[in-house]
Structure 1
């Protein structure tokens, strides 16, 4: 009897919403751009920000972990989000999980560090366009004005009654990343499409 090899292609939690997101983007004439950025690497890191491991990990990643609350540091394709005094989320292109985990653990040596691959836990929505802030403001309690939440800022908050991490991208035209748990991604996509209706 022949051996059977089962292979599976990963499916994004918003696989079924891609066409609707693209349609809203096409009809908004640049006012709103909605898209999923599936399968991004997301690694949660916890360590003592004042300990030797923080500097060693920063050197290994070629990126200093942000120490100011709710800020973002980028170096090449790697982004570090401040989530707490001893917690960061590293975001990178798909497939970088093991590389990041290995580099962090090796750099930390015997120092206490927690490194957890949470890539499958969330997906990322891109919200961009000239009315991106207006769309998010419909259901987010944050002050999203550029003076309060400009490029290089991030926050754990709610959007459309869903827990998310919102990241203001480097340039205003680049819009926002909205990181949402996979189980709530469909609800949030529907909410964003509804919130964007007046601009489409």
Structure 2
């Protein structure tokens, strides 16, 4: 049996202003349908152990979680080894409904951006207001990073998880490394000479 590996075999960069690391492999299952359906909320809570998140948010508990992707799409995250079992449970639960679930684990790469300058690194690359007042823990946002689609999830510890297509993993890693290179801190989200620039 072949071993599951991530796109970049858990590549890591920690020589700059933030730590960039590929994480996984993760189990990722796309669920599409009526997100307000009571049975979807019930199934999501039972299988992932967390409530279905509201618009623009993600909920997690340990290795399991659910993120809001669009008005009719959720991303369920679970340990990679459990994908087949979780998918079977979802298919059984959604039988005779208009909701479907599909394994998307092999289609995406996931990176963690951590450290005091994590926001700044991503702000260089994505057209998103990442100020602490506007992008708070738990928020999940689909956007573009550089030239490719991506999604950002701010975790409770202050780190970000970035999701992108596996086919652009190397491009994304190189982009993040360049934005996090040593000496590249701008200080936009940090007080500089007694002034908080994000409020200026």
The TM tier, using the shorter chain, reads: 0.7 to 0.9
The range that moved more, 129-138 or 98-107, is 98-107
Cα deviation for residue 53 of structure 1 reads: 2.5
* Structure holding more helix per residue: 1
Q: Once the two structures are superposed, what CA deviation does each residue of 1:56-98 show, in whole Å capped at 9, x if it has no partner?
A: 31343232211x2110111332110101122100112221211
User: What 5-or-longer segments of structure 1 have no aligned partner?
Assistant: 1-6
Cα deviation for residue 178 of structure 1 reads: 0.5
2:128 paired with 1:142:
yes
Q: SS of the counterpart of 1:171?
A: coil
2-structure distance, mates of 1:105, 1:9? 26
Q: SS of the counterpart of 1:124?
A: strand
2-structure distance, mates of 1:47, 1:64? 16
Q: Following superposition of structure 1 onto structure 2, how do residues 98-113 of structure 1 map, counting pairs within 5 Å?
A: 98-113=84-99
Query: With structure 1 as the length reference, what TM-score do the two structures score?
Result: 0.84
Query: With structure 2 as the length reference, what TM-score do the two structures score?
Result: 0.84
Cα deviation for residue 117 of structure 1 reads: 0.2
2:118 paired with 1:124:
no
2:51 paired with 1:64:
yes
Q: Following superposition of structure 1 onto structure 2, how do residues 1-200 of structure 1 map, counting pairs within 5 Å?
A: 7-15=1-9, 18=11, 21=12, 24-25=13-14, 27-28=15-16, 31-61=17-47, 62-66=49-53, 68-172=54-158, 175-199=159-183
Aligned length: 183
Relative distance call for 1:103 and 1:87 in structure 2 (3 A) is same
Cα deviation for residue 104 of structure 1 reads: 1.7
Relative distance call for 1:59 and 1:178 in structure 2 (3 A) is closer
Q: SS of the counterpart of 2:74?
A: strand
* Partner of residue 198, structure 2: none
Relative distance call for 1:59 and 1:138 in structure 2 (3 A) is closer
Q: SS of the counterpart of 2:30?
A: strand
* Structure 1 outlier segments of 4+, above 3 Å: 7-11
